[in-house]
Copies of this chain bind each other. A is one copy, B any other.
Amino acid sequence: MCRWLAYSGTPILLDTILYRPAHSLIDQSLHARLGVETTNGDGFGVGWYTPDPTPDTPAIVRDTGPAWSNRNLREIADHVRSPLFFAHIRASTGTAVQQTNCHPFRHGRWMWMHNGAITDFNRMRRDLALAVDPALFPHVEGSTDSEMMFYLALTYGLEQDPPGAVERMTGLVERTGHRHDVEFPLQMTVAVTDGQRLWAFRYSSQGASRSLYYSTRVETLRALHPDAAFLRDISDETRLVVSEPLGDLPGAWNEVPESSYGIVQQGADELLPFAPQAV
């Protein structure tokens, strides 16, 4: 499968989150603890919004080799600051190792990344492709289930109602899977953003979803760890959502419950239940 992280908050060098933590995403590319595979070496991607108002699209840099040895990722992490970024390391479940299959995916201002799989995707691929809005169909570039899920969510109104669109996408995947005699069609943690708000979903047909964690409120963490210099430099609004905790700071990480999703946004963040919707 894969591992990912999403950051929203005070603009920081990507390095601070990508490389410096003890169990950083780069460390996870070689030694994931909570994933299905320990190695995530089949490509990576990083997508970031700039602190400037323009462009309002994210930059997305993706490559096919392992993240751990990629020098360009190291350079970008050392020199790019961003208030909102995604990073993803891939362990292919069979589809080709190529740039167009690396996360995050982008459509306009929107970014999407996924950990998990559509079970027996190849049996459903045609049916799902047909459900994509014909106007969006030519934008599908790669061959992954993850990108297909993104375009299905866009088809179902992601830009207007992200949680509803993801629930409808999930409903379609499950119905299609059941029609093909797939018992548990979907396994997913998904992050999606428009550059302002960030939605993170944890769901699986089987009710045994891949791990997903969010960071504790910065104010609470400061009270717990008054000596942690890092916490003084970031705003109260700063939040991380990650496949695996990046370290062992007590009280820092909270599991996203099964079948739920969170919204990271200006003001209070939210944690809400998630259920597939019929389409």
Contact = CB atoms under 8 A, between A and B. Distances in A.
Interface of A: 30, 38-39, 41-42, 48, 50, 52, 55, 57-66, 68-69, 71-72, 75-76, 78-81, 92, 96-100, 122-123, 125-126, 129-130, 134, 137-138, 141-143
Contact of A39 (B30, B75, B80, B130): B30
Contact of A96 (B80, B92, B122, B141): B141
A101 to B, nearest CB: 9
A98 B30 CA distance: 19
A150 to B, nearest CB: 16
A69 B98 contact: no
A79 to B, nearest CB: 4
Nearest to A129: B129
Contact of A99 (B79, B81, B98): B98
Given A76-B61, A137-B125, A71 B99 contact: yes
The 10 closest A-B pairs by CB, nearest first: A59-B79, A122-B138, A98-B98, A126-B137, A69-B97, A59-B75, A61-B72, A41-B41, A65-B65, A96-B100
